[in-house]
Structure 1
Amino acid sequence: MADPAVLKQLRETLAGLETGGFRRRPVLPFGLAPIDSRLADGGLRLDALHEIAPAAPDMAEDCAATLFVSGIAARAWGPVLWVVRRRDLFAPGLAQSGLDPKRLIYAEAADDAELLAIMEEGLRHRGLGAVIGEARRADMTATRRLQLAAEGGRTIALLMKRHAREGSDPIRVPSAAVTRWRVGCAPSAPLPVAGVGRARWRLTLARQKGGEGFEQIVEACDATGRCALPAALGHRTAATGRADRQAA
């Protein structure tokens, strides 16, 4: 029988090798079991770079991706630095997804290179809860620099990859991001009367380190920055649980 103390020391050594010498990083969970349970870290690592792209190059998908990013930042701690290339952010819309305009610090960059440099500086500051940037192009070298700048801190890095041209796929470009998401619009919740219900998104995790990709339909962020499962899915989960208990 192996000595328990030796086994414990071996586990700690292996854990140190797997995480580059750091202990397990704190994460920001979505609070939705179908998502958190399929993320390698149980949520979004706070000391890491995450990429988000609209599922298609149109305004509706772009807005969905922006509000998804805003909801994540809303649930992070402290001030949020948002670096833009164009002045198209709508503060009341961000507030509806939980991000208080008083927490926002805006910076406008002349090009992608300047934007990425500002993001890196913000991540190294260590006094921000989130650093967000919107870029059309960011290669492996640039994203690796952002990932290294984020490691060891508590500032989540969110890079929104806009479509460079019609038919392009921002997520296909190699990247050092820990997770890479596509956000698209899905049919909204039906109402008993004529009108449009709560918006729904199709979240696609195209890639994650240490895990597999998946797809999930969610209801858009509420005023606390949290997404929700559509009611039908929630009821189905409950019904499945009852069936499992009955089968047991």
Structure 2
Amino acid sequence: MRHTNIIAELRARIAEVEGVAARHAVLPFGVDALDRHLPGGGLAAGALHEILGSPDLADDASATIFLAGILARTEGPVFWCLRWRDLFAPALHLAGLHPDRVIHVEAGSDTNVLLAMEECLRHPGVAGVVGEVTKYSTTASKRLQLAAEASGVTAFVFRRASNPDAIADGTAAVTRWRIGAAPSEALGIPSLGRPRWQVALERVRGGESRNWIVEGCDAQGRIGLSAALVDRPAAAEDRQRAA
């Protein structure tokens, strides 16, 4: 038992040095294929995370609902900072994020969005703070990360209309996700299946990048992943490692 405690303490110290220590709770997706690739088994609270869409409107919409689903599984008010108010509240509600929980901050510019985010992050008890920007600096990301750490409030920078071929900027974010629309399951009847998304974990501090095809959020903000949708290259890599 003593050796076990020593090993656990060493791992905690290493994680702290690497900047991945769980100072606050984590929010798991409830999907093992995702959670086991995230330090602590979920999204770190009190930290900065990036969500990226693409110039394709369907991808930006998918990224918005993906983010809404994460916030739907938290408690408390959500500050959503954006340049102008073009957020479709009924769509957020379909992902479990009730419009009454969302406080819209119409800032007018990327600079003002970032300033508003910092101010909102100073208030503990907030479920999360979202900021929609086209781009931001490494320095700005560090300021947001420090503010999130200090208050324990989770911050999300949503980079809309982000070009997938663009070189990624430096960032202090703990994770970076790129979300894209994917074909739904064919039902064999004239009807619409549950939405599917291409979810790419492009960056995770203390972990490895990975891709998945997931089923979109249900009314409680939960995504799904069936055995048939597991990323085949990743599965092949896991089998090779096991061999």
TM range (shorter): 0.7 to 0.9
Q: Give the structure 1 partner of residue 49 of structure 2.
A: 50
Q: Is 1:115 aligned with 2:113?
A: yes
Q: 2:126 matched to which residue of 1?
A: 128
Contact 1:187 1:200 in 2 (8 A): yes
Secondary structure (helix, strand or coil) at the match of 1:194 reads coil
Which amino acid in structure 2 is aligned with residue 133 of structure 1?
G
What one-letter code is carried by the residue in structure 2 that aligns with 1:180? Answer: R
Distance 1:130 1:9 in 2: 30
Letter in 2 for 1:225: G
Deviates more, 1:19-28 or 1:215-224: 19-28
SS for the counterpart of 2:129 is strand
User: Distance between the aligned counterparts of 1:145 and 1:182, measured in 2?
Assistant: 22
Q: CA deviation at 1:167?
A: 6.8
**CA RMSD in angstroms, aligned pairs only:** 2.7
Task: Give the whole-Å Cα distance in 2 for the aligned partners of 1:233 and 1:157.
Answer: 29
Task: Letter of the 1:94 partner, please give it.
Answer: L
> C-alpha displacement at 1:9, in angstroms?
10
SS of structure 1 residue aligned to 2:121 = helix
* Matched residue type, 2:145: Q
Return the alpha-carbon distance in structure 1 between the equivalents of residues 56 and 9 of structure 2.
51
Computing the radius of gyration from Cα coordinates, the structure with the larger value is: 1
Moved more, 155-164 or 208-217: 155-164
Q: How does 1:208-227 map to 2 (within 5 A)?
A: 208-227=204-223
Is 1:189–1:230's contact at 8 Å kept on the other side of the alignment? no
| TM-score, normalization by structure 2 | 0.85
Q: 1:27 maps to which residue?
A: 26
Please say if residues 58 and 181 of structure 2, whose CA atoms lie closer than 8 Å, have aligned partners that are also in contact. yes
Query: Does the C-alpha gap of structure 1 residues 123 and 108 become closer, same or farther in structure 2, counting only changes over 3 Å?
Result: same
Deviation for aligned residue 1:230: 3.7
Contact 1:202 1:218 in 2 (8 A): yes
| Equivalent position of 1:194 in the other structure | 190
Gaps of 5+ in 1: 237-248
Q: Deviations over 1:56-110 (max 9, x none)?
A: 3111011001111111111122100001112221111100001011111110012
SS of residue in 1 equivalent to 2:151: coil
Equivalent-residue separation in structure 2 for 1:115 and 1:212 (angstroms): 30
| Amino acid of the structure 1 residue aligned with 2:62 | A
Kindly, what percent of the aligned residue pairs are identical? 46
Equivalent residues of 2:20, 2:205 under 8 A apart:
no
Kindly indicate whether the alpha-carbon contact (under 8 Å) linking 1:67 and 1:94 is maintained by their aligned counterparts in 2: yes
Q: 1:183 to 1:20 in 2, by over 3 A?
A: closer
Report how far residue 168 of structure 1 moved: 5.6
CA deviation string 1:17-65 (max 9, x = no partner): 43779764310000000000111221100110000111x3111011001
Structure 1's 229 and 9: CA in aligned 2 closer, same or farther, altered over 3 A? Answer: closer
Pairwise CA distance, 1:7 = 4.0
| 1:217–1:230 CA contact under 8 A, matched in 2 | no
- Return the match for 1:105 from 100, 103, 106: 103
- Aligned residues between the structures: 230
Aligned-partner Cα distance in 1 for 2:183–2:96: 22
1:94 match: secondary structure: helix
Q: Secondary structure at the match of 2:108?
A: coil
